[in-house]
Amino acid sequence: MDLNKNIKFGFSYLKGEMQSMLGLNINSTPTARLALNQWISKTDKNNNNSKEILITALRNHTWIEWAAYAACVFKNMGYNSTLLFRKSEVAKFYTEKPSFLNFWEGVKNIPGITLVDIESAPFDKQTYDRFIQMPDEYYAAATAYDFHVEKEDIINNIDPAYAPATKVLKIKTAQITSVLKELYKSKKYHRTILYSGIISDSRGAMDVSLESKQELVCVEGWSWRSGHVIYNYNAPALEYNVKGWMNSLGAWNEQKEKEINSYIKFLDGEKVNEPGWLDNFYLVQRSKINAEFSKELNDFIQGDAPIAVLAPNVIGDSSLLNRETIFSSLRTWMKSIITYFKNNPDKKLIIRAHPAEVWVADYKLKIRIGELAQELCKDIPNIFILDGRDKTNTFSLLPYARVGLIWLSSVGFDMVIRGLPVIAAAEPKYAGLGIVEEPKTQEEYFEMLNAFMQTQHRPKPEQIQKGKEFQYMVFKGFSFQAQGTTYRANSCQIGNMPNQEEHDRFYKILVGQEPAPDLINA
């Protein structure tokens, strides 16, 4: 922190500590413990309806702190909470001394809280043994996420670090599943709430909860919009119920059309005169759609050769996990496409690495698509590469292209809406809606690619319309501003959230006080 930030933090901290010590209303919460003090001060310890919610407080600061925050919110709704945690984990994350400064020490003061340490709690031996004996492939996606690689890398064990990490994950999963099984023997919780349902040990926790007939909800942060979260009943959060959500949003109308057109302008770098829902979006594109191309790119697009635009995902993103279909991995698909264009020099390919790569910390981005493509495309003059650091607006390429090629990225429906047909190589979240082409074999894939490259095609009107409906759902309709903007405790205050009405609705949905919109017509 620079000097000004240090001074600002110091004043904010002293203000919050004074408010806390004097029993005043706490509105300055620069630390996790001060935030917790605020939550507890606003929690009704006498509100109790005898129902209990089980929440996992695991993996990182975000989900440990959110579990504690949610327990306070739920207590105000009448529910006691049990937090499932690991003593070694909280000891690593929360080292503050003396105890009145330590976040986790303060969690013990939440009214109606029960804390269960996975590392010392009673457990079901049979369940423990079952998950220890699970094949390594069961854990491959979660291990891939931790190493920021693809599932195929883990299955093929291309790094000696993968096998030991999988062994550790087996033990962690065996621990949490066996403790959950033991808890479920004696109690039916009103809800079990897990983060993710895919990464780390959350898949095993989800599977045991479902087989034990517990009412389960998985939650996840929604990175497109600051402070937003999503949920999914009885399945991983990122496997959200697309058709249910689209049904819940009702018929298309002029207002939705207007809002989607505003979002498209936002992506294009144009000024949008509509304050509100676009204010907390991350803008992935870093230049306007009408910005000039570099000389090299401008020279490349000249001539009559048909052009395809390949727009892959960021490798390591959890949205990629368990979505492979006809290609074993994103890189295998890319290599196949590069080989195709190498063998067809009369056709051109632009590989546009995801511009969001610049957001991702170096330690989380083990494989940069632009660098990989440079290695694979040496001496192939009909392939042009824009790496993630290049500021070219992806959508400015579309007027020059015959087809868009995606793994499963959201850019797929963006391209279709703008009039470019798209072929998906994996299973996008919008699979089965008819928005993009979804070949069932590699042979069919390359037949489609040949056809699109030979003559100009445009998406059907119903594909464009369905693309708009999905775009509206995923960027406007189904996430909730229900967590702090930093995804840490210090940006959460009970009763003082940026969108309190939406926040409250989210927690009512989690506990069933309000029907889950995506399940109403299920």
**Nearest alpha carbon to residue 143 among 312, 313, 321:** 321
Res 123: pLDDT: 98
CA dist 422 and 308 (Å) reads 10
Summary mean pLDDT of the chain: 92
Report pLDDT digits (tens) over 166-186. Answer: 999 999 999 999 999 999 999
For residue 300, give both structure tokens. Answer: 């490349």
Q: What is the DSSP letter of 305?
A: -
Report pLDDT digits (tens) over 417-443. Answer: 999 999 999 999 999 999 999 999 999
- Residue 116: beta bridge partners? 84
Using a 10 angstrom Cβ sphere, with 0-12 exposed, 13-18 middle and 19 or more buried, the burial of residue 444 is: middle
Query: What architecture is the 254-477 domain classified under in CATH?
Result: 3-Layer(aba) Sandwich (3.40)
With a cut of 80, say whether residue 361 has pLDDT above it.
no
Asked whether 153 and 123 are in contact (CB, 8 A), the reply is no
CA dist 217 and 201 (Å) reads 15
With a cut of 80, say whether residue 62 has pLDDT above it.
yes
With a cut of 80, say whether residue 284 has pLDDT above it.
no
Res 356: pLDDT: 76
Asked whether 116 and 83 are in contact (CB, 8 A), the reply is yes
Report pLDDT digits (tens) over 478-515. Answer: 899 999 999 999 999 999 999 999 999 999 999 999 99
CA 288, chain centre distance (Å): 26
DSSP, collapsed to helix, strand or coil, labels residue 115 as: strand
Res 271: pLDDT: 77
Q: How many CB atoms lie within 10 A of CB 166?
A: 19
Give the confidence band of 362 by pLDDT, cuts at 50, 70, 90.
low
Res 158: pLDDT: 87
Domain boundaries of the chain, sorted by first residue: 122-190, 254-477
- Residue 385: beta bridge partners? 351
For residue 171, give both structure tokens. Answer: 């033990």
CA dist 152 and 144 (Å) reads 8
- Average pLDDT of the residues in 359-369: 71
Point out the least confidently predicted range of 128-132, 205-209, 389-393, 460-464: 389-393
Report pLDDT digits (tens) over 235-255. Answer: 999 999 999 999 999 999 999
Report pLDDT digits (tens) over 134-164. Answer: 999 999 999 999 999 999 999 999 899 999 9
